[in-house]
């Protein structure tokens, strides 16, 4: 995920154009670099304009640490200044140095609100404003070969994805070999498998709407309806990985836990969804979802750790 280029114009020049351009290029391989560098430019500029007491108070509140060097040392940035990036234990480190001598080494918690400089209400506002103006485009397409799939039975195969927190929440896709061509399973005889495909790939068959109840900051609720494939595409463009867990098979629908996980900003959009079986028969219909946005990943991890302890680690 790259931040919109417009964000890179919102700087005060404290780190300079050359380092910024190098970071933007490097972020093509390591997307988190653009996020951290943009934050560092804004945050260090803010610290530069504070006195020592204000700096100390603000950094303590934000859990930002200057491990080496100082803000003032950044005045010595020149054409030979280099930078290095590291990620460890849910923190990001940025080191800026001259010929091996640190000008500043900064350690920052991987917090969405801190890195973006926005509170939860602002994050929600921008997220849904972006969704309202988003035009659908295909991000993921089915790419699979029998050799990379697990044979289930008959003509049916599993393309293993990644799991999230527990193995039952995953990004597995289910395929059928039709005339020597692997196609997504999408039929009423395989509702759980079809549900995975429907909620993971925006190219899955079907003309399906998503009817959302959005639980927002301040205990507010908002309802909105949009094409399911647009929702999936938008989340992926913003750098989220999607995982599905089937919770319950009811008489006329499946209950599903839907996680859209941003590993850079360490947050989750979590949706409890009801998918009617009729979608897989008719090729159209409406999925109902109850959505909470921007849940910190450490909250989710703590919840699953607690559940695992109560279940004896099983």
- pLDDT tens digit sequence for 45-64: 999 999 999 999 999 999 99
| CA-closest candidate to residue 295, choices 120, 132, 128 | 120
pTM of the predicted structure, to 2 decimals:
0.86
Q: In this predicted model, what pLDDT tens digit does every residue of 290-299 receive, in sequence order?
A: 999 999 998 8
Q: What φ, ψ does residue 199 adopt, rounded to 5°? A: -95, -5
Q: Report whether 255 contacts 191 (CB < 8 A).
A: no
Strands (E), 37-90: 65-69, 81-88
CA–CA gap between residue 132 and residue 226 (Å, rounded): 9
| CA-closest candidate to residue 33, choices 108, 130, 123, 140 | 108
Helical residues (DSSP H) of the chain, grouped into ranges: 5-8, 17-26, 32-48, 52-62, 112-116, 120-132, 191-200, 228-237, 278-282, 297-310
What interhelical angle do 17-26 and 32-48 show, nearest 10? 150
Q: What φ, ψ does residue 255 adopt, rounded to 5°? A: -95, 130
Tokens of 196: 């995975």
Q: Is the pLDDT of residue 137 over 50?
A: yes
Mean pLDDT of 111-122: 94
> Percentage of the chain surpassing pLDDT 70?
93
- CA 247: distance to chain centroid? 22
Q: Report whether 93 contacts 103 (CB < 8 A).
A: no
| CA-closest candidate to residue 115, choices 49, 27, 38 | 38
Q: Is the pLDDT of residue 236 over 80?
A: yes
Stated as kind and residue range, the H or E segment containing 262 is strand 253-262
Q: Which of these ranges, 60-69, 97-106, 135-144, 188-197, has the smallest mean pLDDT?
A: 135-144
């Amino acid at each position: 995920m790259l931040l919109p280029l417009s964000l890179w114009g919102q700087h005060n020049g404290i780190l300079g154009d050359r380092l910024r351009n190098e970071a933007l290029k490097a972020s093509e391989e390591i997307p988190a670099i653009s996020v951290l560098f943009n934050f560092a430019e804004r945050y260090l500029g803010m610290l530069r304009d504070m006195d020592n007491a204000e700096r100390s108070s603000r950094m303590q509140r934000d859990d930002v640490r200057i491990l080496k060097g100082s803000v003032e040392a950044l005045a010595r940035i020149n054409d030979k200044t280099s930078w290095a990036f590291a990620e460890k234990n849910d923190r990001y480190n940025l080191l800026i140095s001259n010929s091996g001598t640190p000008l500043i080494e900064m350690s920052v918690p991987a917090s969405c609100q801190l890195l973006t400089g926005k509170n939860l209400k602002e994050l929600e506002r921008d997220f849904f404003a972006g969704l309202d103006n988003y035009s659908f485009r295909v991000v993921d397409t089915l790419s699979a070969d029998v050799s990379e799939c697990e044979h289930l039975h008959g003509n049916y195969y599993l393309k293993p994805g990644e799991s999230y927190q527990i193995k039952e929440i995953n990004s597995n896709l289910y395929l059928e070999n039709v005339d020597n061509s692997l196609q997504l399973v999408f039929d009423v005889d395989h509702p759980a498998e079809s549900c995975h495909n429907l909620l993971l790939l925006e190219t899955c068959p079907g003309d399906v709407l998503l009817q959302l109840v959005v639980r927002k900051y301040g205990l507010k609720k908002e309802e909105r309806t949009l094409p399911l494939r647009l929702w999936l595409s938008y989340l992926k463009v913003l750098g989220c990985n999607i995982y599905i867990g089937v919770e319950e098979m009811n008489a006329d629908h499946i209950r599903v836990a839907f996680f859209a996980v941003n590993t850079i900003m360490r947050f989750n959009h979590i949706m409890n969804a009801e998918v009617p079986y009729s979608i897989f028969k008719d090729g159209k219909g409406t999925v109902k979802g109850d959505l909470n946005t921007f849940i910190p990943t450490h909250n989710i991890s703590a919840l699953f750790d607690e559940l695992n302890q109560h279940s004896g680690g099983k």
